[in-house]
Amino acid sequence: MSTTLLKYVTWDVFTKQRFRGNPLAIVSVPEDVVLSQHQRQTVAREFNYSETVFIKHIPENDGDLRSSYVWEVNIHTTSEELPFAGHPTIGTACYILSAFPESATCGSLLKVPAGSINIDYDAKELSAQAAIPHDVHIHEATFSDEQIMKLYSSLRGHANSVPRRSAVVSIVKGMTFVLVELGNEEALNAVTTTVQAPELKLDPEWDESFVGTYFYWHPNSDDMRLRTRMIEGTLEDPATGSAACTLAAYLAISVAKTHSPREYLITQGVEMGRRSDISVTVTLSSSGKQVERLVLGGHAVQVMEGNLQMAQH
């Protein structure tokens, strides 16, 4: 048995300031090293972040600079692998592409289980954008106010701010959110974690999925700026790019007034002391019923780096 050293870094994502935003661990896997699903999951539990990513460069030799930066990416929570997640995508994009500061912008491609993600990095702004793979699906079932207040008992004193019905939406197969619009900031502040999971009947072929509850509030009449909180059982996430994309897509479809891109500016993590600023730009099809393009954007900053020791058989 031998030991392999793998380089890792941690970044705070959707923020310009260290110790805000959502922490992310990024483990670089050399081209000649193969990690099993079990090994990756063990490392993710050790970091104990909401997500840990494992990146491996895929050589391309067609002479195109952009396509020469292709990376295989595996995204793990502490308990499972995800088909896609937003803050790991932006954090990974900033980490990979910040190595090329001589270019004002540069691009690359990330390959995740949900599909391929084109990413761009603005070296001047220190921010990344990612064209997110999506298959937006609004489930037939909704989540009632009684179900919400049973699951989140702290909202019982804010019953007038809880909608009668909340939509259940998947951004891709395997990634689903209950979208709960609250009437005021007091109700948003009252949200707590829970030891139970939402009891949902998802549509056939979509029922094997991560499910989180995404609470949102409009601070003013401008529906393009939102405050949010994401709860998944006992976890509250300071920034959830996949949930932000799900919400923005749902709101754009609900409005469906124009084919022009709509940019949503979403602030999450305030109550945790880890403010995160997320942008999502949605472009609908000409029918206004489908999402044609979905772009997630944000900043990230490196916090730590080191080496991880892995036993190889």
Q: Does CATH place domain 2-131+300-312 in 2.40.110.10?
A: no
Q: Which of 257, 239, 249, 243 is nearest to 281 (CA)?
A: 249
Least confident of 18-27, 121-130, 134-143: 121-130
pTM of the model: 0.92
Helix (H, G, I), strand (E, B) or coil at 51: coil
CB count, 10 Å around CB of 46? Answer: 12
66 or 290: whose pLDDT is higher? 290
**Bridge-partner residues for 179, per DSSP?**
167, 214
Q: What does pLDDT average to over the chain?
A: 92
Q: Are 72 and 101 in contact (CB under 8 A)?
A: no
Torsion sign (Cα): 185, 186, 187, 188:
positive
Architecture of domain 137-289: Roll (3.10)
- Give residue-wise pLDDT tens across range 14-30: 999 999 999 999 999 99
Mean pLDDT of 282-294: 91
Pair of tokens at residue 190? 């009252």
For 201-259, give the DSSP string.
-PPTT--S-EEEEEEEE-SSS-TTEEEEEEEETTEEES--HHHHHHHHHHHHHHH---S
Q: How confident is the model at residue 308 (pLDDT cuts 50, 70, 90)?
A: very high
Task: Indicate where the chain has its CATH 3.10.310.10 domain(s).
Answer: 2-131+300-312, 137-289
Contacts of 46 (CB under 8 A, 6+ apart): none
Least confident of 111-115, 176-180, 257-261, 275-279: 257-261
Mean pLDDT of 118-145: 93
Q: What is the pLDDT of residue 66?
A: 47
Q: Are 72 and 55 in contact (CB under 8 A)?
A: yes
Mean pLDDT of 212-221: 93
- Give residue-wise pLDDT tens across range 65-116: 444 578 999 999 999 999 989 999 999 999 998 887 555 466 688 999 998 9
